[in-house]
Structure 1
Amino acid sequence: MNVVSSEALPVPPHAVDTRLKERIAAFMRRASTEVTTHDESTLPQLADTLPRGTTVYVAHTPKAQFDDVLRVSLKVQAAGFLASPHLVARRLPSEAAVRNGLRMLSDAGITQALLVAGDRDAALGPYANTLELLASGVLDDCGLRALGVAGHPEGHPHVVKADLWQALRHKQAFADRTGIAVHVATQFGFDPQGVHDWAAQFEQHGIDLPVHVGIAGPTSVAKLLRFAIQCGVGASLTAASKNMKAFSNVARQGATPEEIVPALVRLGAGETAARIVQPHVFAFGGTIATANWIRAVRNEEFDLQPDGAIEVRR
C-alpha cells in the first residue's frame, strides 16, 4: 500500500482562506496607530474602539509645540493606551526641555517614543538630526525602554541610500550600547514587495532591528496623494501609475490598506522569524475611521476577495 505524506495532500481552498484570514487578523492585532495634538476630544471614543494597551503615537505636527505633544501623550496614556510621543529632532527647543519632558513622561509610565528628524529647514534647538540627538546622551538614561526610528523603504528625497543604511547602523549601535529596544518604523507606501525586499537587506548591512511597517489608513484619494507627495513616497506611486488597475486601486478611497495588509501577510509579515513584525496605521487626521478599520480587521470582520484584497464588512 502506498503511503502519501500529509504534506503532499492538497489543501482545500477554504482552509487556506481561513488560515490567511487568521494571519491577517493576528497581524493587525499588533497594530499601532496615531493621533495628533488636535485629537484630544476623540480619546474617549478611541478608548471605546481599540483595546487597552494599544500603542498610540502622538504626532508632533508642524504647528504644534513640544509641550503640546507632552500634554496629549499624558492623556493618551491615561486613556489606557501605550503612548509613544514623537521626538522630532529639529523641533526640540533645548536639551533641558527634552530631559524635563522625558522625566514627565517617565513619571506617568510612558517608556516609549518615536524619533524622527523633522522637516524644518533650520533646527529650533541643538539637534539638526536624529543622530545628533542619539549621540548627545540625553536618551540614554531617561526612562525609555523602547524607541522607534524612521525607515525609508523607497529611499528619501534628500538623502542618498548609502547614508540611510549608515544611519540605521548608528541606530543599531545605540540599541546595542543602551539596551533600549529599538525598532524601525517605516514611512507608508504602496509597494509591499518593495518593503519586503528592503527589509530582507538588513542582515547584509549589519542591522538586526524589527520593522513596524507603515500603512496608509482609509482616507480620501486627495488627502492620500497629498501626504504621499509631502512624505516623498514617490517610487510606488510612479510604479502604480504605470498600471491603470494598480493606480485606480491606490486612488480608490479606503482601498490601499485592504490591499496592502493581505499582500504583506502573504509575503510573511508577522510570522515568527519575519523582520516585519507589525503594522503602524497612519490616520491622516481620520483617527476614529482608522481605529474602526483596525478593529474590524483584527476581529476578522472582513471577506477575502478574488483579487487578493480584503473587504471590510460595513
Structure 2
Amino acid sequence: MTNHDEAAAVRPSTLAWVRRHLDVGERIVRTEALHGGITAEMRRLTIGTPDGGTRDLVLRSFVDVEHAEDWLDREAGALTLLTGTDVPAPGLVAVDPTAAHCAYPSLLMTHLTGRTVLDDEGVEARIPLLARQLVAIHALRPAERPRKYVTLTTADTVVTPKGADAAAWAAAIDVIRGPAPPHEGRFLHRDFHPGNVLFEVPPPQPAGARITGVVDWATASWGPADLDVAHCSANLALLHGPAWGLRFAEAYEEAGGVLAAAASERLYWMVRDGLAFSEEVRSVSQPWREAGRTELTARAVEERLDAYVTTLMDTLG
C-alpha cells in the first residue's frame, strides 16, 4: 500500500533540509510512504528536474527511536564504504542523525529499482541469488572496519513459545549459554534477509529474478559470517518453512562462502539468531502481513519458529 498524497506528513523543517541537498532547479513534487519497515518511516520523494523529468530519493526517518543517532551514523558510514563496490546499495545524499535540521533523525539516499519479494513462489530460485549476494558482502575489506557485531538475545531473555517442544528449546538455550566460538571477522550487513533485498522479477517467470539492491545498513558490523547467514536462514524459515532456513546455509557454501568448520560452532550461531526471534515475533510478523502474507499471524510464526529450532537441534545438535 502507498499513499501518494502525504506531503503534509513530512514536516516543513525536514522538507527544507531535503531541498538544500537538491540540485539547482530541482523541486519535490510528490512523497509516497513505503511500507514494510519495523523501526523507521520510509518515504520515496519524487524530485522534478529542470529538464522536465523526475528522479527519486528515499527519506528514512526515525521517530521516537532510542538508538536513532547511532543507527544513522552507522548507516551513513556503511553507505560511504560501499560506494564504488559491486554491492548494489543506495548512495548517501545527506544525513542528520541528531535532528539538528529535521523534525526527526533522518537520512536521505538514492532510490533503487526493484521490490521486496516475500512470496513462497520462486523462493527456490531466489535463495542462490541471496546467497551469492551475501558472499559478495562478506568479501568486502573496507579500509575502516565497522564496529563489532552485537547479538540480539541471551539465554535469560529467550521467550519459549506456548506449546513449543520444551526439551528442544531447553537444549537450544543451553547452547547459547556458552562463549561464542572463535571466528574470523567479516564485513556484515547484520540484518540481511528478503525484506531488505530488492528484486526485479520479470513476469511470468520468477526464476528470472535478479537482485537490484540491498538496503537498511543501520546495523552494519564486523563479525562472523555465520551470524549473517543465521539471520537470513531464520527469516527464510519463518517466511517459507524450516527447510528453507537450512537450504540457505547450504546455498551460501555453494556460492563460495565459508562457514564454521565444526557442526557445534554452526549450531551456536544458527540457534542464537533463531532464538532471538522469540522476543520479537509480533514486530517481525506484522510487516509481512502488511506486505500480503496475511497467513503469517504471530501464532503461525511462533509455530514455525518452534519447528525451526527443533529442526536445528535435530540436524546440528
Query: Structures share a fold, TM > 0.5?
Result: no
Q: Which has the higher contact order (CA 8 A, sep 6+)?
A: 1
